[in-house]
Structure 1
Amino acid sequence: MGYNLLKGKRGIITGALDENSIAWKVAEKAHEEGATFVLTNAPIAMRMGEIKKLAEKTGAEIIPADATNNDELANLFTKSQEVLGGKIDFVLHSIGMSVNIRKNIPYTELNYEYFQKGIDVSALSLHKMLAVAKKLDAINEWGSVVALTYMAAQRTYPFYTDMADIKAMLESIARSFGYHYGKEKNVRINTVSQSPTKTTAGTGIKGFGDFYDYANAIAPLGNATAEDCANYCITLFSDLTRMVTMQNLFHDGGYSTTGVSMEVMTSLGIEKEN
């Protein structure tokens, strides 16, 4: 059931690949809450995914764009305003890629060209997107930008390799650009640190299944699903969170503030004392 939280708002949603992706769920929820929006992804990702199916379901137009290319981003924001009939109210940055992870290269042996590619695609793309939007004055006052991240930016997860460093940069960009965009246009920028989620990207990480179960056993509420994350993003796009900006917001069922759970201790053979 929708609450019209985004009624009359216009948006850009990046990264919707298939029904398992968080961006896909965000698009469905935004549509349910009364928003109109365009969908975008890199051309190669669009060929791999099912974005046309989502566009038909939500009545959205697709505008391909390489998020590392300023000219294509300028076209994205310009065309989006033409299609939607006005300035943008919300943007979802759901873009992440590590060639080092795909090729199972250990963190201590990183290929630096791959590392630079990951930085450009997964972190600098947010800065480029915001810089282009600001230059074009494409986002309405009190607009909201949300980027998806993971707590490996704060704590070490050996299997997350260079994406941990990249997500740390992403979160820093959100804070730094959030200050300037907030002062000048009241645009708010936040990152959402989501639970391990069974998306196409997530399950591609080595050992993901075991870690998913571990996090689920630690978090008092269990792992947050992609749909749960979408609901949270919708609140950040809405006027209910007008004064929230430059924050890294944990959406993980309490995992990030739980030291250990009885379930994990029991699995290690540590008995609960009576």
Structure 2
Amino acid sequence: MSNNLLKGKRGIVFGALNDMSIAWKVAERAVEEGASITLTNTELAIRMGTIDELSKKLNAEVIPADATSVEDLEKVFAKSQEILGGKIDFVLHSIGMSPNVRKKRTYDDLDYDLLSKTLDISAVSFHKMIQVAKKMDAISEGGSILALSYVAAQRTLFGYNDMADAKAMLESIARSFGYIYGREKGVRINTISQSPTMTTAGSGIKGFDGLVDFSNRMSPLGNASASECADYCIVMFSDLTKKVTMQNLFHDGGFSSMGMSLRAMTQYNKSFENDFKDENGNIIYG
């Protein structure tokens, strides 16, 4: 159901790949709420994914670009303003990839050249994107910029690897640039720390299925879906959140505030039932 929260607004969505992508869901909801948007991803991602399908559905032009390239980003903002007929009101950065994770390098055996690529793709690209937009004066007064993060920026989660470092950097960029852009242009910059979500990128992380299940058991509201994340993004793009900036906003069903839940503890105890019982069948705790 549309509430016209983004009626008349112009936006750019970075990172939609296929219908599993959070960025894909955000693009759909943005248009449903009255926005006009452009889509952008790398040429390889466009060939591998189904973004053309989304483009046709939403009547949104796709602009091929490498988000780590300042020149490409300049083209994205220039062409988007030309296509949409004015300055941009909101931007979503939904970009993340770790070559170390893909090559199954553990955190204590990272390839540092690959680490540089992880940071450049997943975090520094956010800084480049904002810096380009600011220098071009491409964002409207009071505009909203969002990036997608994860709780591994604050807590160690097995298998998340150097992406945790990238997310920590991403959140720091939002704070540092949020102060400058907010002070000078009233533009707000935030990150949304989403539940583990079964996307093409997320599925490459070691033990991801277990992480999704654990988070769901720990969270009083359960994991937030990609569609629910899209709803939250729309609110953050809208005029309802004009004074929210420099924040890392947890959208994880309460996971980030939990220590142990009944569901998680119950499952944990079950794992000992066959191995640690006394002669009377009682569970023995070490």
TM, length-normalised to structure 1: 0.98
Q: Kindly provide the amino acid, as one letter, of the partner of residue 260 in structure 1.
A: M
Match for residue 179 of structure 1?
179
Match for residue 123 of structure 1?
123
List gaps (5 residues or longer) in structure 1: none
Distance 1:150 1:78 in 2: 30
Q: Kindly provide the amino acid, as one letter, of the partner of residue 186 in structure 1.
A: G
Given the alignment of the two structures, is residue 214 of structure 1 paired with residue 214 of structure 2, yes or no? yes
Distance 1:132 1:212 in 2: 35
Match for residue 223 of structure 1?
223
For residue 78 of structure 2, give the secondary structure of its aligned residue in structure 1. Answer: helix
- Kindly report which structure 2 residues correspond to 1:125-204, keeping only aligned pairs within 5 A, or say none: 125-204=125-204
Distance 1:34 1:207 in 2: 39
Match for residue 274 of structure 2?
none
Distance 2:268 2:39 in 1: 45
Match for residue 264 of structure 2?
264
For residue 117 of structure 1, give the secondary structure of its aligned residue in structure 2. Answer: helix
> How far apart are 1:269 and its partner, in Å?
2.0
Q: Kindly provide the amino acid, as one letter, of the partner of residue 123 in structure 2.
A: A
For residue 44 of structure 2, give the secondary structure of its aligned residue in structure 1. Answer: helix
Q: Kindly provide the amino acid, as one letter, of the partner of residue 155 in structure 1.
A: R
> How far apart are 1:45 and its partner, in Å?
1.1
> How far apart are 1:129 and its partner, in Å?
0.5
Q: Kindly provide the amino acid, as one letter, of the partner of residue 183 in structure 2.
A: K
Match for residue 28 of structure 1?
28
Aligned residues: CA RMSD: 0.9
Distance 1:171 1:101 in 2: 20
Given the alignment of the two structures, is residue 112 of structure 1 paired with residue 112 of structure 2, yes or no? yes
Q: Kindly provide the amino acid, as one letter, of the partner of residue 83 in structure 1.
A: I
For residue 37 of structure 1, give the secondary structure of its aligned residue in structure 2. Answer: strand
Match for residue 38 of structure 1?
38
Q: Kindly provide the amino acid, as one letter, of the partner of residue 86 in structure 1.
A: G
Instruction: Show CA shifts across 1:8-44 (max 9, x none).
Output: 0000001000001100000000010000000000111
Distance 1:213 1:226 in 2: 16
Instruction: Show CA shifts across 1:77-123 (max 9, x none).
Output: 00100000000000000000100000100000100000000111110
> How far apart are 1:259 and its partner, in Å?
1.0
Distance 2:268 2:195 in 1: 23
Distance 1:247 1:263 in 2: 30
> How far apart are 1:75 and its partner, in Å?
0.7
> How far apart are 1:204 and its partner, in Å?
1.4
Q: Kindly provide the amino acid, as one letter, of the partner of residue 161 in structure 1.
A: N
- Kindly report which structure 2 residues correspond to 1:76-91, keeping only aligned pairs within 5 A, or say none: 76-91=76-91
For residue 6 of structure 1, give the secondary structure of its aligned residue in structure 2. Answer: coil
- Kindly report which structure 2 residues correspond to 1:98-109, keeping only aligned pairs within 5 A, or say none: 98-109=98-109
For residue 144 of structure 2, give the secondary structure of its aligned residue in structure 1. Answer: strand
Q: Kindly provide the amino acid, as one letter, of the partner of residue 192 in structure 1.
A: I
Match for residue 247 of structure 2?
247
Match for residue 276 of structure 2?
none
Distance 2:267 2:134 in 1: 51
Q: Kindly provide the amino acid, as one letter, of the partner of residue 177 in structure 1.
A: F
Instruction: Show CA shifts across 1:162-218 (max 9, x none).
Output: 000111000000000000000000000000000010111111111111111110000
> How far apart are 1:158 and its partner, in Å?
2.4
For residue 67 of structure 1, give the secondary structure of its aligned residue in structure 2. Answer: coil
> How far apart are 1:266 and its partner, in Å?
1.1
Given the alignment of the two structures, is residue 60 of structure 1 paired with residue 60 of structure 2, yes or no? yes
For residue 108 of structure 1, give the secondary structure of its aligned residue in structure 2. Answer: helix
Distance 2:231 2:78 in 1: 28
For residue 200 of structure 2, give the secondary structure of its aligned residue in structure 1. Answer: coil
Identity of aligned residues (%): 63
For residue 55 of structure 2, give the secondary structure of its aligned residue in structure 1. Answer: helix
From the CA coordinates, give the structure whose radius of gyration is larger. 2
